[in-house]
Chains A and B, each alone.
Chain A
Amino acid sequence: MIRSVHIPDGFIDGPTSLGAGVVSAGTVTVCVRRAGAALEERQVPLVGLTAAFVFAVQMLNFPVANGTSGHLLGGVLAAVLVGPAAGALAVTIVLAVQSLLFADGGLSALGLNVLNMALIGALVGWSIFAGLRSLLPRTRTGIVTASGAAAGCAPVLAAVAFTVEYALGGNGVASVRDVGTAMIGVHLLIGIGEGVITAMTVGAVMATRPDLVHGAAGLRPGPAEALLPTGTAS
């Protein structure tokens, strides 16, 4: 049986939740416009697939330490597959459906959850991916490595964001330092899972349909394939 895994109502006070809601709503609106303007018709079902896949994998909690589990957040995966704006939108829809249909993640905390997982994951995560990609060789291995490493950072960034939200409006007596240390510690472990799942998924799509991976746009098929260390030109 699957538990509720996102921030519930009442962890963070009303004003902070509302503030996060305003920031998230504004940013998601920009993402919707960008995605609507940038996407080609053939990419629209791929964004749907990306969202559905992230939803499915979020249900697969994996054990990270004794008695604790973690699950994919999916922001970096979505951004690498369909681009940061469409990726942020995909994960936002996952979180909205989880809250509205499955009662996972409080309604008042939706803005917090969207900010921490969809927006920070897809937008900040994409910047990390893009930075790493520019440092690594422009090959399949380079793209997969950059995806995995950027994804590994995402849960830690989400934990930092939660800690900031707790500092601003947490309904608890524990010190911000204690909460931050515990959150970042466990999310470092979850980051390993996030990185592995993301790298495996991006690798699998790259192996079959590299032309569908937004983050691999600079990778030219054809003669460039000969440069791939794995040499798996199809």
Chain B
Amino acid sequence: MTRRSVWLTVAAGLLVALVLVVLVAPHASSSPDGLERVAADQRIDGGERPHALDGGPLAGYAVDGVEDDTAGTALAGTIGVAVVFVATFGLLAVVRRNARRRAAPVG
């Protein structure tokens, strides 16, 4: 398999991820999730403190300055997909190169 075909697959996969965050995520259920629900029912959320970065520009999967919820979620999701991809790819590329450098220089 060529390197090119992997990148084609990656591009196709990222496109699917973007379609999901732009078209589906804004319509996802906004009910509390399993943990939140249990925490509220069992009243174990008394000690909860607000997130230290609650004032951040993307806090809560919304974008500061974007009033429309649908657009905000779609944009936040798009940014998230890009950041997660770049962070993972970048970290592993560096780690892998260092691992190769430490190993015997076979080629």
Contact = CB atoms under 8 A, between A and B. Distances in A.
A136 interface: no
Interface residues of A, number: 82
B60 A183 contact: no
B14 A1 contact: no
Interface SS of chain B: helix
Contacts, number: 253
Given A45-B89, A52-B88, A182 B38 contact: yes
A89 B92 contact: yes
Contacts of B92: 35-36, 39, 44, 47-48, 86, 89
Contact of A36 (B1, B32, B54, B99): B99
B65 to A, nearest CB: 16
Nearest to A166: B44
Interface in A56-112: 56-57, 59-64, 67-71, 86, 89-90, 93-94, 96-104, 106-107
A162 interface: yes
Interface SS of chain A: helix
Contact of A41 (B24, B76, B96, B98): B96
A93 B81 CA distance: 11
B42 A68 contact: no
A4 B88 contact: no
* Interface size, B (range): 35 or more
Given A68-B34, A68-B37, A89-B92, A48 B86 contact: yes
Interface in B68-98: 69, 72-73, 76-77, 79-89, 91-93, 95-96, 98
A3 B30 contact: yes
Given A56-B17, A102-B56, A179-B44, 6 more contacts: A39-B92, A49-B17, A93-B91, A97-B87, A106-B49, A182-B41
Closest 8 CB pairs of A and B: A172-B44, A171-B47, A48-B89, A36-B95, A103-B59, A56-B17, A69-B29, A36-B99
